[in-house]
Amino acid sequence: MATVTGLTKERMLEIESQSVVNGYVNNMGNLILVNHGGGAIDAGDVKGPQGIQGATGQSGIPGGTTAIRNSTFGVPSTDAEKATLANKSVSWYNIDTGVIETYLATTGTPGLNVNGTTKPSGWYHLPFYDRLPKGRIARVVTIPAKTGIAGTWTVLDLAPVSLVSGRVYRVTYKYNTLGSTADQAIAIELRKSATTDATEAGTAIDDTATDYLAPAAAQGRTSFYEFEFTATATETVNLKMCAVRATGSTTFEISGRKFSVVDLGAQ
């Protein structure tokens, strides 16, 4: 007669809860593994030895205050000095004004060999640089679970950012969900608020929330949210990823969250 060895439901759920579903390397160089139940396991240092020195890259645009700029390049007063500086086509990031500028001499200035300006000689803003992408401007990684309910937006994570009118931003959000009742929709939405108060969901940026069916109790699911928007105002705000139970009344948990904001530049 055959003998069958099995596991109880509780033991199977325990094993599932301990299974690794995610991982990342923290700023200390340690590998952090995230299990199904939302717990974190520090697997230790995974950084390799220091590599050899790479080749020297291209120099970036120098910058500083207006006073440092004038000390670096001087303050041209004669036509010869103005033409000499303009001919160098220098660029400078001015931290007093927050823009990249270059020195231009008036068209027709003796000795000028580059394009000039119809305005008086001086430092002028280079708008082209302002349109370039700035890359990632915010990243938030959170492991502990956050519990959501029905009827009220729950702030899962927030990222303080400075938005510039007319620039395009991409928000991505990766998260793990543990439900309590299957087939009840959860809504995920990007919102904004002037406050860092985690109880204040603010107003919607993506006003069409992403709905999906929640997993059943003790069953997890990894989901990915992405949304692009053009800022309509220049402002410093807190972007907030929020969730709510769209149907039903049971709670749900969201853990292992990664929230990223990327500046794609002006279109």
Task: Band the pLDDT of 19: cuts 50, 70, 90.
Answer: confident
In a domain, 10, yes or no: no
C-alpha 140 chain-centroid distance: 8
Domain shared by 262 and 141, yes or no: yes
Domain shared by 87 and 203, yes or no: no
Domain shared by 90 and 164, yes or no: no
63 φ/ψ angles, rounded to the nearest 5 degrees: -160, 175
Give the domain-ending residue among 130, 162, 177. 130
Q: If you average pLDDT over each of 17-21, 32-36, 149-153, which comes out highest?
A: 149-153
Mean pLDDT of the chain: 83
H/E stretch holding 142: strand 135-142
Domain shared by 125 and 217, yes or no: no
* 224 and 237 Cβ atoms separated by less than 8 Å: no
Measured between alpha carbons, how far is 244 from 224 in angstroms, rounded to an integer?
16
In a domain, 171, yes or no: yes
pLDDT at 5: 65
In a domain, 69, yes or no: yes
Domain shared by 102 and 150, yes or no: no
Q: Distance from first CA to last CA of the chain, Å, rounded?
A: 74
* 116 and 106 Cβ atoms separated by less than 8 Å: yes
In a domain, 8, yes or no: no
> Would residue 44 be called left, alpha or beta, if left means φ above 0 and alpha means ψ between -120 and 50 degrees?
left
Instruction: Write down the pTM of the prediction.
Output: 0.56
From the number of C-beta atoms within 10 Å of its C-beta (0-12, 13-18, 19+), residue 85 rates as: buried
Q: If you average pLDDT over each of 5-19, 78-92, 140-154, which comes out highest?
A: 78-92
In a domain, 227, yes or no: yes
Domain shared by 224 and 166, yes or no: yes
Torsion of CA 174, 176, 182, 184, to 10 degrees: -40
pLDDT, tens only, 190-242: 999 988 888 888 899 987 766 665 555 556 678 888 999 999 988 899 999 99
pLDDT at 213: 59
pLDDT, tens only, 94-112: 888 878 899 999 999 999 9
Domain limits for position 29: 18-45
Domain shared by 143 and 126, yes or no: no
Give 223 or 182, the one with higher predicted confidence: 223
